[in-house]
Copies of this chain bind each other. A is one copy, B any other.
Amino acid sequence: MSYNRRMASLRAAVDVVIFAVRERRLSVLLVKRGVPPFRGRWAIPGGFLREDEGLEAAARRELNEETGLTASFLEQLATFGAPGRDPRGRVLSVCYFALLPAGNTAVPAPGGDAAQAAWFDVRKLPDLAFDHGDIFEYALQRLRWKLEWTTVGFGLVPKRFTLTELQQAFEAVLGRAADKRNFRRKVLGLGVLAATREQKREGLARPARLYEFSAQRFEKLRERGVLFPF
| Copies of this chain present | 2
Does chain B have a CB within 8 A of A179? no
Does chain B have a CB within 8 A of A209? no
**Most B Cβ at <10 Å: residue of A10, A11, A80, A229:** A10
Interface residues in A47-68 by Cβ distance below 8 A to B read 47-55, 65
Which of chain B's residues have a CB closer than 8 A to the CB of A1? 65, 111-112
Complex: how many Å from CA A93 to CA B94?
A: 11
* Contact assessment for A81 and B52 in the assembled complex, using a CB-CB cutoff below 8 Å: no
Complex: how many Å from CA A65 to CA B1?
A: 9
Given A1-B112, A2-B111, A113-B2, do A83 and B53 touch, yes or no (CB 8 Å)?
Answer: yes
Given A12-B10, A112-B1, do A79 and B55 touch, yes or no (CB 8 Å)?
Answer: yes
Complex: how many Å from CA A172 to CA B199?
A: 51
Given A2-B65, A52-B83, A81-B54, do A229 and B145 touch, yes or no (CB 8 Å)?
Answer: yes
Complex: how many Å from CA A8 to CA B1?
A: 28
Complex: how many Å from CA A112 to CA B2?
A: 5
* Contact assessment for B81 and A94 in the assembled complex, using a CB-CB cutoff below 8 Å: yes
Interface string of A135-155 (1 = CB under 8 A from B): 000000110010000000000
Interface residues in A111-166 by Cβ distance below 8 A to B read 111-113, 141-142, 145
Does chain B have a CB within 8 A of A82? yes
Complex: how many Å from CA A65 to CA B2?
A: 8
Does chain B have a CB within 8 A of A216? no
Which of chain B's residues have a CB closer than 8 A to the CB of A107? none
Does chain B have a CB within 8 A of A76? yes
Does chain B have a CB within 8 A of A185? no
Interface string of A22-62 (1 = CB under 8 A from B): 00000000000000000000000001111111110000000
List chain A positions with a Cβ less than 8 A from chain B: 1-2, 4-8, 10-12, 47-55, 65, 76, 78-83, 90, 92, 94, 111-113, 141-142, 145, 228-230
